[in-house]
Structure 1
């Protein structure tokens, strides 16, 4: 494999993650993870389905809390905070598919 290759070539569960760099003893992935020679690679930890489930849970909890806060005598605006692995995984650009943005928008539409 070479830089910019998708890890989905190895496993379909790794859709959306690419190789950002290859060094002598490690690879750098688009999700910010680094893997050194000899590391065990668990596909399900990096899988889009894991990301999707995390986003689904965050949206569910956000709307539950928002419902509670809206019914208070003094309203409180509920905010949700997401930490992302790479700005380009959320922004439209020519280099890489914004897979986090796409997943977030799909799940928000479902909710």
Structure 2
């Protein structure tokens, strides 16, 4: 997938989610459990985005380094951070799939 098309797909997905926001806000307004669930999910999503941004910045700084041990350490840490992000995004997806489809087993 080329970069422009990928950006369009991501933008479309975000726009699609945003369309549901007013109705969801009304539903959770008087439901403390759902309100808490969405607040915690929002914190997790923000934390994941921050970690990805930090990894991006660290990887961008590699081009200025001459010490290969520093490069290896940065890439090792980046790999750990990205694995954490991927793992948490998968968990987040599993939770939402479970909540939206009931007790079915999801791959």
Is TM (by shorter chain) over 0.5?
no
Q: Which has the larger radius of gyration?
A: 2
Q: Which has the higher helix share?
A: 2
What TM-score, normalized by structure 1, do the two folds share?
A: 0.35
Q: Which has the higher strand share?
A: 1
